[in-house]
Chains A and B, each alone.
Chain A
Amino acid sequence: DSGVTQTPKHLITATGQRVTLRCSPRSGDLSVYWYQQSLDQGLQFLIQYYNGEERAKGNILERFSAQQFPDLHSELNLSSLELGDSALYFCASSVVSTSGGITDTQYFGPGTRLTVL
Chain B
Amino acid sequence: ILNVEQSPQSLHVQEGDSTNFTCSFPSSNFYALHWYRWETAKSPEALFVMTLNGDEKKKGRISATLNTKEGYSYLYIKGSQPEDSATYLCSYNQGGKLIFGQGTELSVKP
| Residue ID in chain A nearest B98 by CB atoms | A45
Chain A, Cβ-Cβ closest to B51: A103
**Whole-angstrom CA separation of A47 from B98 in the bound complex:** 9
Do the beta carbons of A102 and B100 come within 8 Å of each other? Answer: no
Please tell me if A17 contacts chain B, counting CB pairs below 8 Å: no
Q: How far is the CA of A104 from the CA of B96 in the complex (A)?
A: 11
Contacts of B91 in A (CB 8 A): 43
Shortest CB-to-CB span from B19 to chain A, Å, is 21
- Asked if B99 is at the interface of the complex by the 8 Å CB criterion, the answer is yes
B contacts with A, residue count (CB < 8 A): 22
Within 8 A of A (CB), among B84-108: 89, 91, 93, 95-103
Within 8 Å by CB of A106, from B34, B95, B99, lies: B34
Task: Say yes or no: is B49 at the interface (Cβ < 8 Å to chain A).
Answer: yes
Q: Which of the segments B38-46, B64-72, B75-83 contacts the partner chain?
A: B38-46
B31 and A102 contacting across the interface, CB-CB below 8 Å: yes
Kindly state whether residue A58 has any CB partner on chain B within 8 Å: yes
| Residue contact B43 to A110, C-beta cutoff 8 Å | yes
The contact string, 1 if C-beta is below 8 Å from chain A, for chain B 23-52, is 000000001101000000011111001010
Residue contact B32 to A103, C-beta cutoff 8 Å: yes
A110 smallest CB distance to B (angstroms): 5
Q: Are A105 and B46 in contact (CB under 8 A)?
A: yes
Complex interface: chain B residues within 8 A of A48 (CB): 96
Please indicate the chain A residues that have their CB under 8 angstroms from the CB of B45 in the complex: 2, 108
Cβ contact within 8 Å between A105 and B49? yes
Interface centre among B43, B93, B95 (most CB of A within 10 A): B43
Contact sample, A vs B, 18 pairs, CB 8 Å cutoff = A2-B43, A2-B45, A42-B89, A42-B102, A43-B89, A43-B91, A45-B100, A56-B98, A90-B43, A90-B44, A92-B44, A100-B96, A104-B49, A106-B46, A108-B43, A108-B44, A109-B43, A110-B43
Q: What is B's interface to A at a CB cutoff of 8 Å? A: 31-32, 34, 42-46, 49, 51, 89, 91, 93, 95-103
List 4 A-B pairs, minimum CB-CB distance, nearest first: A56-B96, A108-B43, A45-B98, A43-B100
